[in-house]
């Protein structure tokens, strides 16, 4: 399981999540930050520091937010 960064990040891009991630799985993309689902250890440190509550667990995604997991997977696949 991994965490996923949703739309509110695009307007904020505060990056607190990057500095607290113990496995460095969060990277900045062109429109928002992304969590690499293959590296995330599900610790939740990023959730606690996100100022806009943009980070949710993969299994808590609503159908309309599943696109953000797909965007993250695509971002890391094309690297």
Q: Which helix (H) or strand (E) holds 22?
A: none
Q: Which of 62, 63, 77 is nearest to 34 (CA)?
A: 77
Residues 24-50 have pLDDT tens digits of 999 999 999 999 988 999 999 999 999
Q: Which residue has the higher pLDDT, 1 or 43?
A: 43
Tell me the domain boundaries of the chain: 3-77
For the cut 80, the answer to whether the pLDDT of residue 22 exceeds it is: yes
- CATH class name, domain 3-77: alpha beta
Query: How crowded is residue 5: how many other Cβ atoms within 10 Å of its Cβ?
Result: 25
pLDDT at residue 6, rounded to an integer? 96
Q: Provide the total of helices (H) and of strands (E) in the chain, helices listed first.
A: 4, 4
CB–CB of 20/49 below 8 Å?
yes
**pLDDT for the residue 11:** 84
pTM (2 d.p.): 0.91
């Amino acid at each position: 399981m991994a965490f996923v960064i949703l739309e509110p990040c695009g307007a904020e891009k505060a990056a607190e999540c990057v500095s607290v991630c113990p496995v460095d799985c969060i990277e900045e993309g062109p429109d928002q930050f992304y969590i690499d689902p293959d590296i995330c250890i599900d610790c939740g440190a990023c959730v606690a520091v996100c100022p806009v509550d943009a980070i949710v667990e993969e299994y808590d995604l609503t159908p309309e937010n599943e696109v953000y997991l797909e965007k993250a997977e695509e971002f890391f696949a094309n690297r």
